[in-house]
Structure 1
């Protein structure tokens, strides 16, 4: 039996409608981890869908728990020979809230619906279809070869959409159990729908609040205008000192000293395109001298997520006593996260804004991760994907968004190769989440080829 036969098996399985039926069954389970009433549903997804699917492939399954997590984790492994390479897989079965009332007529978050060449349903993009593709790809290799030819370990969690509580501690406590050569997982979007993509880490993310508390209560703007400070104006000027009018960060400690040559080479042919539904890229915004791909995948960005002063809903003729902004820094490997807020404090003081208070939010800070795009495992994966798809994959040193990838790189010591099966316009986390089935079909072929090659004896592990 051959590689091409395994891929043909994958395509036939998809075209038969069998994969669609499996995915429809999983989408129908409302695994909203942000909804406190869904605890039993989260566990049910592992027990009724994940465990039977892994056990059918000869995996040994065990349920793992941690006090920080609202739902258990499922760990599955198939060890064929300790001398073989071991690949670690990861996925999450929880989804963001369904937002049922906001979907288009005829669509539901809990029903896979095919319409206008797209599959709709909550979890189609994030993450049920993505881990379902990878699991089915392994099943295709087993059916064709009779064995994987490598060792496989897989972890499914049910709390990713609430910050993965307990995942870090679980991995700390199970380093030996989770030991592997490489992580291969799928989440996030491709660079473009039609171009296979590999990303090797993620940008970090830190949210914080800026606040000015000037006084108790508002005061009439006619009687006091020009006599007392306006926190809304002061905070606007403070924020404006952080970035230029074109979005360039003005705090040196917040950006890398340089863009590594290997990152530049990897991004040289990467064109950022959100598709027909995405916004138009504004070339004048952000760090000057960088391409759009370098700005989002190789550099840092500062955003104001929300801003409030006075009463926006019913403005009155009063100078507000308070102004508040929720801000965010997305950052790459290089800058020191421990110095982000101290550096901001120093900057605001130098600029004459000692009245601005800085406070980290309760949201977990994601750390930046990136492995070398020229690593042997990366080049092996890229060659496999290119052979299957007939396309040159985009290699992103890191995702523009954030994932708890440092758990895998820093705690488990794994190289991380992410092969996404989504695209930027998928409406992830919004109503009408969807994917083109052709993207999933190609993803299934790619992963079947990748897992076939993993067991063919020519990986960096065995060379």
Structure 2
């Protein structure tokens, strides 16, 4: 293996920068929205396009069918039987674009403004997927082969719970087997702060429906007689947390595992309250008041009401008692909390609190996932830490990610590998929101970190 250094990789990137950026913009033009049936052909076209790129770089490529959108599997094993095997995970599907009127430019017509690319998927996850693919291409071009054996798992349903990939994992476990698993779908603590994610929270979601009558009722005729489902729903939801932000669902905290001394020593819990407010115009005062803001956002479990519907909310006024009221609820979970168990405890508590006269239905969604934690002393974590430090020119920090990647736990179990979660995202990239964006400077740094880490772990 030819010895490469950071300067050689930077020289390659500069020489091929226009080609890299052009390919990135082409990737972003695919309207690969996994949750919307009309975009199915776009997802297939996007998957085929990636497959062609990988074949052009000497990968053996398979498109694994699922009951939903296909998963791309690719491998290149020319590093030899004694070299480690690294499985890298990304996804090519994206979130819907609503509300469209809040975008400053069409979401699938990528726009570059002052070194930043604006488009749906610019960061999550096409930007992060693209720098991985380009780093692999560069290593092959510079030495004729990769420093390690590489497998790629690029799925098309991450944004809708990964049910398709999850259903085939057991049958594909031998193909996915690897020494190390890299999840290239998270972020860094700040634009100039090299940082690795040591874990991310799990998630369970559910729909709660309160029914009071078979049709909407006139509030003059029936007010004071029929129990209003909206009133009932608000009353019950308000009792799921106390005034200090603690979740009151019995057993909710029973299995919560705190950080080890080693993890806590490595993690910085610094939080810039003023920067948070200036970025989002929200005060960081939610959640459990007895914990710091960053603890609440990363290593503590939560329950959130994501939406409420019921009654009349159009223009003018309609004096009704709604027949039905509903809410969407999500729980972010930490180590050792089982999503199904926690979901059922929330459902049981909701039904228990509902007043007489209200029929309650709680639909727990499939596709949730448990929290995941990386071993800070594993070779793959150390390799990426060294790569971040080299590229940024300062020591790598560690933190926990508040978001969730539901498939990670199942994927790690299937491939039987040590895990690292890496990425170059920032909290204000507006992922899942209008005007999602990703800086071209971070596209380059992601390229450099990926290449340096694979060289380091070899």
Q: TM-score, normalised by structure 1?
A: 0.86
Shift of residue 87 of structure 1? Answer: 0.3
Q: Give, in whole Å, the separation in 2 of the partners of 1:341 and 1:162.
A: 18
- The residue number in structure 1 matching 2:86 is 87
- In structure 2, distance between residues paired with 1:192 and 1:335: 29
> Could you tell me which residue of structure 2 aligns to residue 102 of structure 1?
101
Aligned length: 451
**Contact 2:54/2:74, CA 8 A, preserved across alignment:** no
Provide the residue aligned with 1:427 in structure 2.
430
1:115 maps to 2:113: yes
Query: 1:396 maps to which residue?
Result: 399
Q: Does 1:454 align with 2:457?
A: yes
Structure 1 residue 428, shift from structure 2 partner: 1.8
CA deviations 1:418-457 (Å, max 9, x no partner) are 21122222222333221121121222221221122122xx
Equivalent residue for 1:324?
326
2:200 to 196, 199, 202: 202
CA shift at 1:24, angstroms? Answer: 1.8
- Contact 2:276-2:283 at 8 Å conserved across structures: no
Report the Cα offset of residue 226 of structure 1. Answer: 4.0
* 1:53 to 1:347, Cα distance in 2 relative to 1, 3 A: closer
Residue in 2 that maps onto 1:54: 54
Q: Using the alignment, how far apart are the partners of 2:157 and 2:351 within structure 1?
A: 39
Aligned 1:308-457 pairs, distance under 5 A = 308-313=309-314, 315-344=317-346, 347-348=349-350, 353=355, 355=358, 357-362=360-365, 364-455=367-458
Give CA-to-partner distance per residue, 1:15-47, whole Å, 9 cap, x none: x42211121222233333334344343333333
Hey, what's the Cα distance between the residues in 2 that align with 1:89 and 1:265? 28
The 8 Å contact of residues 267 and 396 in structure 1, kept in 2 or not, is answered as yes
Structure-2 separation of matches of 1:202 and 1:438: 25
**Could you report, residue by residue, the CA deviation over 1:133-189 in whole angstroms, capped at 9, with x for unpaired residues?**
012112222333443221111122223333323211332111111110111231133
The one-character-per-residue Cα deviations of 1:37-82 (angstroms, maximum 9, x if unpaired) are 443433333333x23432343322233223x133353423334211
Distance 1:336 1:2, change over 3 A: closer
The 5-angstrom pairing of residues 68-83 of structure 1 reads: 68-71=67-70, 73-83=72-82
Change (3 A) 1:366 1:97: same
Q: Which runs of 5+ in 1 are unaligned?
A: 456-463
* 2:179 maps to which of 178, 181, 186: 181
Residue 242 of structure 2 corresponds to 244
Aligned to 1:460: none
Task: Choose from 211, 214, 221 the match for 1:213.
Answer: 211
Structure 1 residue 320: Cα displacement:
3.5
Structure 2 unaligned residues grouped into runs of 5+: none
Deviations 1:333-355 (A, max 9, x none): 22233332443355457657464
